Chain A
Amino acid sequence: DAGITQSPRHKVTETGTPVTLRCHQTENHRYMYWYRQDPGHGLRLIHYSYGVKDTDKGEVSDGYSVSRSKTEDFLLTLESATSSQTSVYFCAISQDKSGPQHFGDGTRLSIL
Chain B
Amino acid sequence: QQQVKQSPQSLIVQKGGISIINCAYENTAFDYFPWYQQFPGKGPALLIAIRPDVSEKKEGRFTISFNKSAKQFSLHIMDSQPGDSATYFCAASSNYGGSQGNLIFGKGTKLSVKP
Residues of A whose CB lies within 8 Å of any CB of B are: 4, 31, 40-45, 48, 58, 90, 92, 94, 96-106
Counting contact residues on chain B (CB < 8 A from A), the size range is 20 to 34
User: Which residue of B is nearest A98, CB measured?
Assistant: B101
Residues of B whose CB lies within 8 Å of any CB of A are: 6, 31-32, 34, 36, 41-46, 49, 89, 93-95, 100-103, 105-108
Q: Identify which of B32, B42, B102, B108 contacts A42 (C-beta below 8 A).
A: B108
Decide: B100 and A98 in contact? CB cutoff 8 A. yes
Once the chains are docked, how many angstroms separate the CA of A90 from the CA of B32?
21
Decide: B42 and A105 in contact? CB cutoff 8 A. yes
Rounded to whole Å, the gap between the CB of B100 and the closest CB of chain A is 6
- B residues within 8 A CB of A4? 43
- A residues within 8 A CB of B49? 100
- A residues within 8 A CB of B32? 98-99
Decide: A102 and B46 in contact? CB cutoff 8 A. yes
Once the chains are docked, how many angstroms separate the CA of A58 from the CA of B103?
10
Given A40-B107, A103-B44, A105-B41, A48 and B102 touching (CB < 8 A)? yes
- A residues within 8 A CB of B34? 100-101
Decide: A100 and B89 in contact? CB cutoff 8 A. no
- A residues within 8 A CB of B41? 105-106
